[in-house]
A and B are shown apart, each in its own frame.
Chain A
Amino acid sequence: MTRILLYAIFTASLLMGLILIAIGMAESVPNAAGLPHPSIAGTQIGGDGLARLATIGGLGFAFHALLLFLIVTLSALGVHEKYQDSRFILIMLGILIFNLVVCWAMWSGHRAFLETGTTGYFMGFPTPTAWQVYGTWLGAIPLIVLYCWGFRRYIYTAEDEIAFEQLLEDVKDKQ
């Protein structure tokens, strides 16, 4: 399983590199990285959001999705393969899907706003931004819950603790 994860992480990283190259070669948009605010010095504006999405929107979404994939697979790499049972794999898949749904809600909400010019608000921010602020942050909370509640099952079991104490003893004896 570790080897599969490694290949998955490698492939995702490679694809992200290729996406960066593709974006670097894409047709440029004047406000891609912002423009100076017309009347407030020291601040920037984003300008035409649809123009920014038109050229690299798809590549940006793919990069975002791969990044979420990378976070979940890297977290799985931190769990020894002897504990990567089917239940663990299902949990990690669930976490990945949850994150992709949040990501999609943010991107589609942003596009919908750009097309209609209207948005709702949730806890102080326009809805797409609320997905970004609260959704992205909450997206990794299941990983943290898994780490804390599953600590003795997936991270450092009672057998692991005994094995490590034995290892320390053996090293001391050798010295």
Chain B
Amino acid sequence: MEAFRQEIIIGAVFVYMVFCVVTGLWAMRRTHNSSDFFIAGRGLGPIVVSLALFSSTLSGFGFVGGPGLVYSIGVSSFWMIVISSSGYALGFFLVAKRIRMIADLRNCLSLPDIVAARYNSEIVRFLFALTIVLGVMGYLATQILAMAVVMQAILSGTEMFAGIGLVTCVIVSSAVLIFYCVTGGIIASVYTDVVQGFIMMLAGILILITAANVFDGGMTEASAIILADDAETIMPFGAAGIMASLGWFFVFGLGLAGQPHLVTKMMMNKNISDNRSILPMSLIGYVMAALLWVSIGVVMRAAVIDGVIPPLDLPDDAASVFLSVFANPILAGIVFAGLFAAIMSTSDAFLNIGTAAIIHDMPKAIRGHGVKNELMWARIVTVLLAVIAASFALYSHFRDATLVAILGAFGWATFAASIFPVLAIGLNWKGATVAGAVSAIVAALVINFFVQIAGVSLPYGISGGLVAFVTSMVLFIGVSLVTRKPDIGDDIARMMEI
């Protein structure tokens, strides 16, 4: 079986991609209008929403960057995972019920629709849409690049595709992504998410079992090896230190309820009461998949320190080297399919919300009404957005990584800082005002952009995202407390009393 390792891996990835294409074709028959395309007609069951929610949370970063971070800085990066229970709890307590109610009341298709209804403000809608478009470009470009790099690594291990180029890999992987997103919209996206979620959970458990058997003493021996080399790396704050770790706790914990690609899924369930089962199912799925992140990182660092394997060229090679050295070929095939699943499930969610922001929200904010024939334009813009992001990814890879890095900063932290207070607190506090919302969003964008462009390095590992988030929280509540309450619609006011 070992002799056919590459063929098994390629076969697993190929089967997965064929599945995505078939799902796209199936979902196309169920997509009749823009409501179906963007929010699946608000008719999804709890299992589908749960799996879609958690698989979108754990992107390719969780499968590649996560283990790489543990290898590089130790336990510091665990904070991004252990906060998942707090993050999901906050998301459901603050957002899930109310976002679903407003979506029903005002027939909302997107997150900017929700805040426009809540604040009765087109400025807030526009700023939300702008934040989403900027963030989506950075996220999509990095996800597409990651997908192509992994595909190139897999294919170049075979004789037939030994010299395959990155551009070809970008085209092939993007084509599959575009196909099922364009044909089936969010319906294809969430149903592929279901399978993607199962693959990710299976991969997480199998990897944990494999990792626990690399050393005779299991994970305890791996931890002891790291402790003997540098104790702080395996202690609660890892090599990156106290404030970097607590910053991740803040930004990833509270920030989960501010991620547009996640909270949009809270608009799609059929019944509000399904939320009580969606929450635990999402959390369990996430934790099972995230086992991969922790176990590969710890074992790879211990294996390098112990001389079992040579040091890695790059920390991000941790997962792929682990799979080639320690994993059975079938497991490697499942995990690589899981990796593509993780990347695609996040990418399709971003394509969807980015498209909605461009064709639905920005025209509404500027002209007062959306475009005619939204479904057709949604499909066209989905293609354009993916093509631009793919070109952007290639440009950054071959020419200049700065642009993607800047837009990459508009990732999790910026979404968290600019969206969380306005959405999560604003949906539960009638006193929140337009001025509070605008100041919070603008401050979050400016601080994140400034820290990134100016290359500001803050002491003790404090991140720009953390500063932006704390500032936006203070501004949102502080400014709202001293400005006049907005005139919100009667239906929204009554909804907030429920």
Q: Which of B72, B74, B84, B277 contacts A148 (CB 8 A)?
A: B277
Tell me whether A42 and B246 are in contact (CB under 8 A).
no
Q: Which of A17, A33, A129, A147 contacts B279 (CB 8 A)?
A: A147
- Contacts A33-B241, A41-B311, A168-B104 known; A46 to B82 CB distance under 8 Å? no
* Distance, CA A16 to CA B249, complexed state (A): 13
Within 8 A of B (CB), among A133-175: 133, 136-141, 143-144, 147-148, 151, 155-156, 160-161, 163-164, 167-168, 170-171
* Distance, CA A126 to CA B223, complexed state (A): 7
Tell me whether A42 and B314 are in contact (CB under 8 A).
yes
* Distance, CA A20 to CA B461, complexed state (A): 11
A-B contact pairs, 5 of them (CB 8 A): A14-B478, A20-B466, A44-B72, A67-B253, A80-B497
Q: Which of A45, A56, A67, A144 contacts B280 (CB 8 A)?
A: A144
Residues of chain B whose beta carbon lies under 8 Å from any beta carbon of chain A: 71-76, 78-79, 81-86, 88-90, 92-94, 97, 101, 104-105, 212, 218-220, 222-224, 227, 229-244, 246, 249-250, 253-254, 272-273, 275-277, 279-280, 283, 287, 294, 301, 304-305, 311-315, 424-425, 428-429, 431, 458-462, 466-467, 470-471, 473-474, 477-478, 481, 491, 494-495, 497-498
Closest A residue by C-beta to B432: A6
- Contacts A78-B428, A113-B231, A138-B85 known; A60 to B243 CB distance under 8 Å? yes
Tell me whether B89 and A75 are in contact (CB under 8 A).
yes
With a cutoff of 8 Å between Cβ atoms, the chain A residues found around residue B491 in the complex are 167, 170-171
Q: Which of A128, A133, A163 contacts B498 (CB 8 A)?
A: A163
Q: Does A9 contact B (CB under 8 A)?
A: yes
* Distance, CA A93 to CA B224, complexed state (A): 37
* Distance, CA A16 to CA B466, complexed state (A): 10
- Contacts A14-B474, A33-B461, A121-B220 known; A46 to B235 CB distance under 8 Å? yes
Tell me whether B72 and A42 are in contact (CB under 8 A).
yes
Tell me whether B233 and A46 are in contact (CB under 8 A).
yes
Q: Which of A26, A67, A125 contacts B250 (CB 8 A)?
A: A67
Closest A residue by C-beta to B298: A124
With a cutoff of 8 Å between Cβ atoms, the chain B residues found around residue A26 in the complex are 459-460
* Distance, CA A24 to CA B294, complexed state (A): 30
Tell me whether B242 and A60 are in contact (CB under 8 A).
yes
Minimum Cβ distance to chain A for residue B212 (Å): 8
- Contacts A80-B497, A144-B88 known; A46 to B230 CB distance under 8 Å? yes
Q: Can you list, as one digit per residue, whether each of A1-45 has a CB less than 8 Å from chain B (1) or not (0)?
A: 011001001100110110010011010110111110100111111
Q: Does A131 contact B (CB under 8 A)?
A: yes
* Distance, CA A131 to CA B275, complexed state (A): 29
- Contacts A26-B459, A28-B459, A137-B82 known; A10 to B242 CB distance under 8 Å? no
Mostly, the B contact residues are: helix
Q: Which of B74, B230, B234, B254 contacts A70 (CB 8 A)?
A: B254
Q: Which of B71, B74, B85, B424 contacts A141 (CB 8 A)?
A: B85
With a cutoff of 8 Å between Cβ atoms, the chain A residues found around residue B231 in the complex are 46, 49, 113-114
Q: Which of B78, B235, B279, B477 contacts A10 (CB 8 A)?
A: B477
* Distance, CA A119 to CA B228, complexed state (A): 12
With a cutoff of 8 Å between Cβ atoms, the chain A residues found around residue B273 in the complex are 151, 156, 161
Tell me whether B246 and A60 are in contact (CB under 8 A).
yes
Tell me whether B246 and A67 are in contact (CB under 8 A).
yes
Q: Which of A20, A143, A147, A164 contacts B462 (CB 8 A)?
A: A20
With a cutoff of 8 Å between Cβ atoms, the chain A residues found around residue B244 in the complex are 33
Closest B residue by C-beta to A107: B236
With a cutoff of 8 Å between Cβ atoms, the chain A residues found around residue B73 in the complex are 34, 43-44
Closest A residue by C-beta to B473: A13
Residues of chain A whose beta carbon lies under 8 Å from any beta carbon of chain B: 2-3, 6, 9-10, 13-14, 16-17, 20, 23-24, 26, 28-29, 31-35, 37, 40-49, 52-53, 56-57, 60, 63-64, 67, 70-71, 74-75, 77-80, 106-107, 110, 113-114, 119, 121, 123-126, 128-129, 131-133, 136-141, 143-144, 147-148, 151, 155-156, 160-161, 163-164, 167-168, 170-171
Which of B83, B231, B301, B305 has the most C-beta atoms of chain A within 10 angstroms of its own C-beta?
B231
Which of A78, A125, A148 has the most C-beta atoms of chain B within 10 angstroms of its own C-beta?
A78
- Contacts A139-B85, A171-B105 known; A75 to B223 CB distance under 8 Å? no
In the A-B complex, the 3 residue pairs with the smallest Cβ-Cβ separation, listed nearest first, are: A46-B232, A124-B219, A78-B93
Q: Which of B105, B238, B462 contacts A167 (CB 8 A)?
A: B105
Tell me whether B477 and A13 are in contact (CB under 8 A).
yes
Closest B residue by C-beta to A39: B311
With a cutoff of 8 Å between Cβ atoms, the chain A residues found around residue B84 in the complex are 137
* Distance, CA A143 to CA B272, complexed state (A): 18
Minimum Cβ distance to chain B for residue A98 (Å): 13
- Contacts A52-B241, A136-B82 known; A167 to B246 CB distance under 8 Å? no
Tell me whether B85 and A167 are in contact (CB under 8 A).
no
With a cutoff of 8 Å between Cβ atoms, the chain B residues found around residue A156 in the complex are 97, 272-273, 275
Q: Which of A14, A29, A129, A137 contacts B85 (CB 8 A)?
A: A137
Closest A residue by C-beta to B83: A136
With a cutoff of 8 Å between Cβ atoms, the chain A residues found around residue B280 in the complex are 144, 148
* Distance, CA A132 to CA B74, complexed state (A): 13
Tell me whether A167 and B495 are in contact (CB under 8 A).
yes
Closest A residue by C-beta to B496: A80
Minimum Cβ distance to chain A for residue B236 (Å): 4
* Distance, CA A133 to CA B291, complexed state (A): 12
Minimum Cβ distance to chain A for residue B341 (Å): 24
- Contacts A42-B72, A140-B85 known; A20 to B223 CB distance under 8 Å? no
With a cutoff of 8 Å between Cβ atoms, the chain A residues found around residue B229 in the complex are 45
Tell me whether A43 and B223 are in contact (CB under 8 A).
no
* Distance, CA A111 to CA B218, complexed state (A): 26
With a cutoff of 8 Å between Cβ atoms, the chain A residues found around residue B425 in the complex are 9, 74, 77
With a cutoff of 8 Å between Cβ atoms, the chain B residues found around residue A164 in the complex are 101, 272, 495, 498
Tell me whether A128 and B235 are in contact (CB under 8 A).
yes
